[in-house]
Structure 1
Amino acid sequence: MYLGFSAITPPPSSQDARETLLEFPDNKLLIDLCGEFDRNLARIEQALSVHILRRGNQLAVVGAPEAQAQAAAVVQHLYQRLEAQKPIETGDIDAALRATELGGTTSFEDQLEMFAKGQYEIRTRKKQVEPRTEAQKAYVRNLFENEMAFGIGPAGTGKTYLAVAVGVTMLISGEVDKILLSRPAVEAGERLGFLPGDMKDKVDPYMQPLYDALNDFLPQKQLAKLMEDKRIEIAPLAFMRGRTLSNAFVVLDEAQNATTMQMKMFLTRLGQGSRMVITGDRSQVDLPRGMPSGLADAERILDGVEGISFNYFTSKDVVRHHLVAKIINAYEKAEG
């Protein structure tokens, strides 16, 4: 089988059963496609049990016929990303592998069409963010369409990261006046004792993941200025009491560690022109034994309320290191 990006003469039919041959017109893009020391190709080879051989401006994919076809589709998708001047990262390779998975509900062509239309691209000051799984795409769509959205699932599925990216986009475009990020200040299974410093010094360790996400999307000087002007705030959940949050994009992270009363208090802070996102992982509750999670209560009480969306993630949506999904699956299996 012979696939290419320019008019060429097909090879003999005897070769078809052994390999898929692809030709690329731009050798510089082909170098970027292969990656340093061919690491991008190695990632595809490992995932699909194929061999990809470089011959000048051609790549030959050797393996089982179905695996050849999927590998060829992945390589073509990544090359088209480069043609569109988009970089290739490990997560993009994994996304292409998922998009071309045999028997999947979404075809490779559908994914390309979606990206081409820019329906699910989140543009921030520093980078462009693309949801990489069907659950993430639905989540991002609901973040834009609903005034209140829940994102529930295991660590590493992009719940908070995508929410902050959407918030930065809405702030930049003027749809909201400020961003407010909050977390319950609950220790994760260990007692850290009294922390030194002023109030900011005491709460910053709990808020660090939110700072990390913001630093990914905004230049440091601009972020510092926005925080100085209080257009971006990061505060513990306890500081939300008594506030009315208007024209703001509000994110409550680690919501499984909010009590029922805290959750009700937070949800009723929603003001005119605001959006609210609540993210959490039901498997990582750090509240004292016997104290119910406000996230679980909110799921039960608010189910079916118009204008509120619930999005759920699984280990298949993990976009961190590939071992994270395996770890989550192992723990879920052990628990039940």
Structure 2
Amino acid sequence: MPDRLKVAVIGASGIGQHHARWHHLSGSRVVAFAGTSEESCAKTRAQLQAYFGFDGRAYTDVAHMLATEQPDVVDVSSPFNLHKEHAIMALESGCHVVCEKPLCWDVDRDLDDILADGQAVVRAAEQAGKSLVMSAQYPAGISIYRDFYARVRGTWDAIESLEMEMEVKGRRGPKTREDIWIDVASHPLSLVLGFLPGGEIDWTTVSCAIGERENRARFDVITSEGRCDVRFVLRDIDEGVPARQFGVNGFLVNWEGFADDEGIYRARLVHGDEAVICRDFMHILIDEFGKHVRGEGGRVVVSGADALKNLQYQIALLKLAEWPV
């Protein structure tokens, strides 16, 4: 494996442009991206050149890009209804894959079929012998959060409660009801899996509501240490700065993103008068994945198995949800 991994991005005009830069900052070479048209590719190329000096090639055909560039890693940041197709294409071409969340989704397909799609992606990774990571990135910050918690409270405690509040403000207008769930639920569920590994939801305790502009979920997770009360709120807003708050045992931190003096996006975790600054969680996830692929001991923050469990929970909770008027 070369010291600098070759990375190709599918869908680099939205969140994919930030993924591309994080790959670049993590020491990889972004050799190409795939877009939907010559016009959109020209616009995206200019954005990437200004953003981090991109000097690779643009394609409108994913298969052609994979065959020509033979990348080590493919970042799938295309619309979620294309995740299955693009991830499997990349895996079958011998590439490791970073896949945007959710792992798979298609609003025109039955929920059980969506889960089967996710299983197909994970199976393709296993058959190809390649690594798969999903970019539900909050578990990348758990060790940082734990150190912050212990610094303020004096020790790390058994987890009895887990909370998250997450607001989003869509670039393409308001999101409603299940669109919010599809877009955002992977994040709190990734924290459930990250903070409570090996735990299982007690499905008799589930309460889930898919409101017009707000989704809520509450349930217990049974672990080897007992029960954990999990609550999260997902909200779409029209104005203001979206709130991002999470924590365990009532130790809630506000997540704030900002660009440092060098223009690198970073995270600030704030609890009362205390704060800690760290790399953006997605930067950590991509950096760790690059080290893993290079054989340098990096971790796969949200593995294929984690991504599939996340999707299973997301679908099962949606099936049990109420839809208040």
Structure with the larger strand share: 2
Judging by fraction of residues, say which structure has more helix: 1
Larger radius of gyration: 1
